[in-house]
Amino acid sequence: MAERDVLLVEHDPKVSEVLRLIFEAAGYNCLLANDGREGVEVFKAGRPPLVVTELKITGITGIELLQQVRAVDDDVAVIVLTDAADVKTAIASLKSGAYAYIMKPIIRDELLIAAERAIERRQLLIERRQREEGA
Give the global pTM: 0.93
The amino acid occupying position 131 is R
**Of the options 3.40.50.10540, 3.40.50.2300, 3.40.50.720, 3.30.300.130, the CATH number for the domain spanning 5-134:** 3.40.50.2300
Q: What pLDDT is stored for residue 135 in this prediction?
A: 66
| DSSP secondary structure code for residue 102 in this structure | E
Domain ranges of the chain: 5-134
Q: Is 25 exposed, middle or buried, given 0-12, 13-18 or 19+ CB atoms closer than 10 A? A: exposed
Query: Over the stretch 58-116, which tens digit does the pLDDT of each residue have?
Result: 999 899 999 999 999 999 999 999 877 777 888 889 999 999 999 889 999 999 999 99
A 10 A CB-CB count for 100 gives: 21
